[in-house]
Structure 1
Amino acid sequence: MNKKIMFLLLAIALVVLTIHSAIAAQIVPLSTNVTITSQPVTTATVGQAYSYQVVISNPNNEVVTYGLAQAPTGMQISSAGLVTWTPTTAGTNSVNISVTADAGVVYQTYTITSTALPASLTVGTLDLGSSTQERDEFILNQAWTLKNAGSYAITINSIQHTVSSRYNFSLSTTQLTLQPGEEKDILATLYVPEDENAGRTKIGQITLLGTTSNGQQIAVTKEVYLEVENNLVIDNVEVKVGSKKDTLTSSGTVDQTAEFDDEIIVTVEIKNTYSTDNADTQMRDITMELLSSDLDVADGLDDSLSRLDAGEKDDTMTVSFTLDPSDIDPNDAPFEFDVAVKGETRNGAQHGETWTLKLDMNVESKDLRIISATASPSTISCNDNRRVRIDTEIRNLGTRDLDAAMLRFIMDGYDVSAWEKDIQIDQGDSDDVTVYLDVPRSIPVGNYYVDIKAYPTTSTSTTTDTEAVLLTVAECQTVVTPPLNNTNTNTNNNVPLNNTYVPVQGTPVSSTSGSRTGLFGNDATYIVLLAVLVVLMFVAVLLLVFRMTKN
């Protein structure tokens, strides 16, 4: 009995073991070889396409299948693992991506946050015509692109414009609807008048009014431009800097480098590009003008030409200016200036062209300049105080600060001079210097120059500028006081009793050393008058004595 039970238990154990083995063969454990390695895209925009490419690691090359265990409405995943979706509302959505392999399934769970863009209608400037657009003809069906860059549909209800009726301007439609991200073209038609000015000109504005699908109001205004061909062009510009010159065939920088006091001569060659020569294609009242905010000395200079026929060229219009240190800051270099040419045809259409040129400048490291100098008084005479005040304005036009600059003042041929030393002046700054000169009385009548020399350092071998002020030594003339007479009732006590000298210009008045004329001088009239006074005084004394004796 015990043997039977033992065999029975053994048989049961074998059956259980067999069944267990069979069941175990049918159960696949979760694979640890396939993994998702990519990071999900967690943000999206309402109305715009969302995408996320799932990337896995599959070292055993198992067959995999992608799926969405959880996803918002409309989201899809391709057989290659690309997730696509276009959100319709703002908010958050949960996503659970599954990757099923031969040996199991792996998941990636994340949350997408969707935001809505504000209403945005992207509209470009409406540019009509071109640089070759002729006059007296229509521009037909030129496209103007509109795009909805927001998250909600936009309906344009009205398109208004301010373009003058002389252009017969029209649009293919004034109402349309744009879905989020959608682009559409509106076609514009316009007539180009015969007297339309050359170049690109603003001729009006367009305003678009509409609403979005979520109730927002849309209002966009854009400019309308018309470009028409120009038939008066600049062929080249010759710029002469000192003794050197450069010819430019377009806007750009002049090759030659300028220095202070250089004369700049600008000559422009122009051309009438009309091919047919008649009264309507002749250019009239042509002007050339320099315009510059950097060079005040050049701004507004102009020249003119009365007429230029079709196909002809002219190179006679010229302007010039000098780089005066008193008007120019070298730190502004390179200097920019415009060369503008204008003219018109018989029908009044304006033509012309403007080139922008740049002129560089050579600047020394140490450059002290004299901007102005004056003498006070500028004329001295024999009786004047012979001290003269010289006021000088200087400027540091170099690239470095100066800490020991000097000025020397001298009258050539005479021992009259002065120094101003240890002048400290920073780069680009100006300063005023005042000195006094004592002019000896031995210097004869005449005109003299006081020379001023500027030294940027203590070395007198380097002079960066000179200037001169005129000083006049005038002649002297004696002014004689008029004689007194008995009939003069003037009781003015301020009549001078001494000689008065005043400076005069012209031939000097000669005089004998030590001689003198005046009230008690050698004049016979005054001697007679003195004798009469003495006699009267003697008679008065006699009368007084007689009266005292009688009493």
Structure 2
Amino acid sequence: MVTDNASNSSSSLAMTAFTVRDITISSSASDNASVAFGQSYQYQLTTSGTYSGTLTYTLSNNPDNMTISSSGLVEWTPTKASQITTHSNISINLTTTSGYALTETYDLIVTGTCVSGNVLGLWSGDQRTSTDSTKYLGNISAYTDNSSSVKTASENYNFHSSSVHLTHGPTPTATTGNVFFYNQYDNTTHLYLFYMFGFQGNSSADNIKIDIFTDNNSSTDAVVVADDRVAEIGKQGSGCGSSAGCYKGRHVYNSANSDGGVIVPFSGTDYRVFVDLGGTSTIDGSSALTLGNLESFKYYSNDGSSITLGGTVDNFTIGYKSSIDCSN
């Protein structure tokens, strides 16, 4: 529906393009009218026309925590079980400085099932100090242990025989780097970063060089698992640039084993982890960062989904987004 407040009239129309005093809404929210539970929904309202003044955007009848920016970008992540439904008649309101207004109304369907846990966002590129919504790749939920199988970070990695043997987590592939977050069921505020290359009995010998940077962590992060030598992943005392912490991952493994590590803990609501996979290392200024013969990185979620970074992505950023509670 579009409403012209100036002429005090309204009509129900198919969403295509509407003009009020030289302002046209040329996008349609109904073109992207569903979102999976736990994933981030985005809709950019676009306009055209000759109007060059200030525009004000507001929302009405919107779900809790749905926001709209000063440029008309609507963002929301459904994190409550009760939000798995159809949200009817969400209204996006656009107003000019002289009071002329347009309203776009649409329904948004939330699909899927609720899986409790911490939700993290994944972006391509360096998003340590700001977030570019165009680089957003998706949300992933953290793995967890349970009361019948309690595991610390190192116990969960379960390093022996020169390889990883995960208890709680995904089944890693031998052709990509593998990364996920993990927390203990009785300590949901502290998350652990796991990453690994290859796995026992099904690997190809490789030489991996990556840099890892940490920012805005409320805890002091450190390496708790180094697979399989301490020298292969170490926290650096210099070369971190503007980041609070940084690590050099220099992993060499044969066809029978794995390599990787665990960095812990991460807490708070603003932390970022930037992983650099290509170019010259900014930590030591000389190493050529590489994934060797691996295709790229694969990022795993507790709900069974995953995101595989394309071969053109040579760095990515992970950051905390929200916590899901399926009791509400």
Fold in common (TM above 0.5): no
Query: Higher relative contact order by CA 8 Å / sep ≥ 6: 1 or 2?
Result: 2
| Structure whose CA Rg is larger | 1
TM-score by length of 1: 0.22
Give the structure with the higher percent helix. 1
